[in-house]
Structure 1
Amino acid sequence: MLAEDPDTFLSDAQQYHRELLAHCYRMTGSLHDAEDLVQETYLRAWKSYARFEGRSSVRTWLHRIATNTCLTALEGRQRRPLPTGLGAPSSDPVAELVPRAEVPWLEPLPDDSDPSDIVGSRESVRLAFIAALQHLSPRQRAVLVLRDVLQWKAAEVAEAIGTSVPAVNSLLQRARAQLAAVGPSEESTLPAPDSPEAQELLTRYIAAFEEYDIDKLVTMFTEEAIWEMPPFVGWYQGGPAIGALIHHNCPAEKPGDMRLIPLTANGQSAAAMYMWDNDSGKHVPFQLHVLDIVDGAVAHVVAFLDNSDWAKFGLPESL
């Protein structure tokens, strides 16, 4: 039953906020942009509520508005990569770090306090999947997310984005092919962050950093493990290279200089790293690590240096 007025409708529609945020995040790769686009979606829905005929559910109607809001916002914008997505080979771990502040880097997504609230599966917000979506055109991205994540029918997608069913099927075919070339394989499903396997490894990972035992940390990585840390353009492969990078470039000098808080992001195991700051006499935000854990080892770490969103992860300003 429809609400009697737009304001009541908007209040009722807030129950879809989390899944609309996840949808806009999949489309844009940016938490900042997703939050703005969800607000724009609600504003557009409020303005056009009188024309809503109820032929679809409110949830479907809101996702349709959100999708078109995202497509409009993405016109002429650069994609949001990770360093591995720039096409350069792996970097020398002892070379100077090169930042690229002008690149609109991919951003991490805070998990809701209740993991069951993550829309779809964890795989649909996994960092590797979001990074792979960035290789698609906005319309390919929209079709693939609506069809394969939200499980819409081709006719529903065609109506939503104003095209034909054959065009939707063609966009989906190309999107799936491109995603298969750059995205995570089906065999690389990650354990849930609250699983004993993931929790045990994350505990050891945190302890190794806090003890400044980089040799122990190196043993936790898979042979082909990757480390990247936007806004620096380099990426590093293999435990020894990652260890050398940390030894050479990490500002920590002794046990206790780093403190880490376990959390989850993008449906994955994660940790917020705080670094000792002599000037303030506190540990201050440094990096947010999002981990791929595969077969009891760390296969990939994205260490985000932008800490402007830490409050949205429920993290304190200092320790």
Structure 2
Amino acid sequence: MSYAQTQTPEDTQTQQALDGMAIRPSSTDAAITEFDDPHWVYVNRSIVVRHHAALPADRKELLLWIPGTRSPRTPEPAPGRVVRSASNEFCKVAATLGYHVIALSYPNSLSASSCNKDADPEAFEKFRLAIIQGGTSEHITVSRTNSIENRLIKLLQQLVQKRGREDWGQFLTAEGGIAWEKIAVAGQSQGGGHSALIGIHHQVARVLSFGAPRDYSVALQAPAAWYLKESATPKERFYAFNHEQDRQGSTPAQLLENLRALKLDAFGPPVLVENSKPPYAKSHILMTNHPGTKVDSLTAHATMLSPKNKALFEPAWRYMLE
């Protein structure tokens, strides 16, 4: 008998959880009053609750997705309407592989590229840490309440209370902090940079950067200083996926300098995914030039996660996730 033939009424709830559940940050912490676009939560209950033998095993890992810079929407969505993250298809794939998945909403109206003319070699790191942990840099101030860390903790606490069978508590420490070693951090653009920096500061399960990392100092003509710091996460757990025509925040040549500074070239040269197959010569620097003709930089920047490109890029997503 096939898995499809053994489905139960609970499968409706499972499908809803896999398709994504929207949770407003303000519902997890009354002190959060801004940047209240919803978090998105994905979980395959047939894997993490029912442990169905025909499906992948529960990884007992959280994929934390950190989106890129949010430009003001024109027009704004209608009142009460929620807009899915551009990473929706990627997050669903991760959930089918046995991850718990959270796409986090956080203060992301200002791009890290605002630091690229600073003479301070630590400018990019200070900017990102202000957003990740809460704090102040020359360009931005973020309260601890609105930080990535607090928003994640408060969301996990709510999920523990309301969705106890899914075991979200495993991603919190006994002291109520974040159990980073059980978390794979991933993100696009600004979020991809945050993910890489988190991997430098904390030992995490893996780091996946899409359209990133792009912290390159024009003032110093060098990659950001934080790329060269000793990494808490082994570098073999870092992966990057970029477009050859993407110039958002840095030139393609500067991006490659960044990746070399991170020492990802130790695992092989960049591989063009449309001309290769998994495991992509075991490279940790994946590239694309899809659709093979000239495209504008913003289009290139979003190409690797566009839902219309899922069939082409899902093998690369799985390679990075598995």
Bin for the TM-score computed over the shorter chain: under 0.3
TM-score (norm 2): 0.25
Question: Quick check: which has more Rg, 1 or 2?
Answer: 1
Higher RCO (C-alpha under 8 Å, 6+ residues apart): 1
Q: TM-score, normalised by structure 1?
A: 0.25
